[in-house]
């Protein structure tokens, strides 16, 4: 059971949207998928038609002394979701104090999930790079995709933020109409071995999918972004293997 962690190089680059879309694409390829929200933003579940009023999730359960594995939801046969859960602003310091310890414990939980044989693929939606406490998740994953946009801010961060060895870079919101984006893309292709050989384009369907609370491939099977996420899913099947088959 390979585990892929997806993390934005900063907030807002599309990591959560891609996690939801990739989960859907792997599911459509006949794979059993569990997708876990590791971020206190708790946005991932909103790509899977949950109501705003839903507060349950594994992070919420940690603070309430409840069992994490009872918080999973079935989106459809073969695609399950574990939300983070909603924390109030007042609870965030309590969460931050426990975060490191909890993410360490997740290495055991992921091994339990691997041993259970219940899923073929596990996807983790991590908080953006630089947020404290994500190292445990990065280490637990078999592959780490760092999502970035072709802009100067991502370029600066590539120079300033060290990435764990083996991290692959995934370009999102690419628009060939922008001269700057074209230039950066070409430069990165020449200089960054870690850049994945496929990109996700800027696509209105991706933006609309979140408004419709669906993964993009479900919202619009014919959209460019859905097509590109299918290609990413096939790439994952060919290139990502689990450390504990």
Point out which residues bind ligand ADP (CB under 6 A): 8, 11-17, 43, 172-173, 200, 202-203, 206-207, 210, 225
Task: Say if residues 19 and 123 touch (Cβ distance below 8 Å).
Answer: yes
| 148, interface contact from Mg ion, ligand ADP, none, CB < 5-8 Å by kind | none
Q: Could you give the 3-state DSSP secondary structure of residue 171?
A: strand
Closer of 1 and 45 to Mg ion (Cβ): 45
**Beta carbon of residue 97, minimum distance to ligand ADP (angstroms, whole number):** 24
* Closest C-alpha among 244, 242, 238 to residue 29: 238
**Beta carbon of residue 37, minimum distance to Mg ion (angstroms, whole number):** 9
| 203, interface contact from Mg ion, ligand ADP, none, CB < 5-8 Å by kind | ligand ADP
Tokens 């574990």, located at residue: 82
Q: Which stretch binds Mg ion (CB under 5 A): 15-23, 63-71, 156-164, 215-223?
A: 15-23
- Does 16 interact with Mg ion (rule: CB under 5 A)? yes
| 225, interface contact from Mg ion, ligand ADP, none, CB < 5-8 Å by kind | ligand ADP
| 17, interface contact from Mg ion, ligand ADP, none, CB < 5-8 Å by kind | ligand ADP
Q: In what order do the strands lie in the sheet with 121-125?
A: 73-76, 79-82, 33-37, 121-125, 3-8, 143-149, 168-174, 195-201
Query: Within 35-192, where are the H helices?
Result: 58-64, 92-116, 135-140, 152-160, 179-191
**CA–CA gap between residue 60 and residue 220 (Å, rounded):** 32
Closer of 1 and 9 to ligand ADP (Cβ): 9
Closer of 118 and 204 to ligand ADP (Cβ): 204
**Beta carbon of residue 239, minimum distance to ligand ADP (angstroms, whole number):** 22
* Closest C-alpha among 177, 175, 172 to residue 149: 172
Strand partners, 79: 33, 76
Residues that bind Mg ion (CB under 5 A): 15-16
């Amino acid at each position: 059971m390979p585990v892929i962690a997806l993390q934005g190089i900063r907030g807002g680059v599309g990591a959560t949207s891609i996690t939801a879309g990739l989960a859907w694409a792997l599911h459509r390829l006949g794979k059993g998928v569990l997708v876990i929200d590791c971020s206190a933003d708790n946005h991932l579940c909103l790509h899977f038609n949950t109501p705003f009023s839903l507060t349950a999730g594994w992070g919420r359960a940690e603070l309430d002394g409840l069992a994490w594995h009872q918080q999973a939801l079935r989106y459809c046969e073969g695609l399950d979701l574990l939300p983070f859960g909603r924390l109030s602003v007042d609870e965030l310091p309590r969460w931050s104090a426990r975060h490191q310890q909890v993410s360490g414990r997740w290495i055991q939980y992921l091994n339990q999930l691997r041993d259970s044989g219940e899923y073929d693929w596990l996807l983790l939606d991590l908080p953006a790079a630089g947020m404290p406490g994500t190292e445990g998740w990065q280490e637990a994953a078999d592959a780490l995709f760092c999502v970035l946009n072709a802009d100067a801010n991502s370029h600066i961060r590539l120079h300033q933020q060290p990435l764990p060895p083996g991290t692959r870079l995934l370009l999102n919101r690419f628009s060939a109409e922008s001269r700057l984006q074209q230039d950066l893309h070409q430069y990165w292709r020449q200089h960054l071995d870690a850049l994945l050989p496929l990109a996700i384009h800027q696509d209105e369907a991706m933006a609309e999918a979140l408004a419709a609370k669906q993964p993009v491939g479900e919202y619009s099977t014919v959209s460019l972004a859905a097509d590109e996420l299918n290609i990413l899913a096939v790439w994952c099947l060919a290139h990502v293997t689990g450390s504990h088959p």
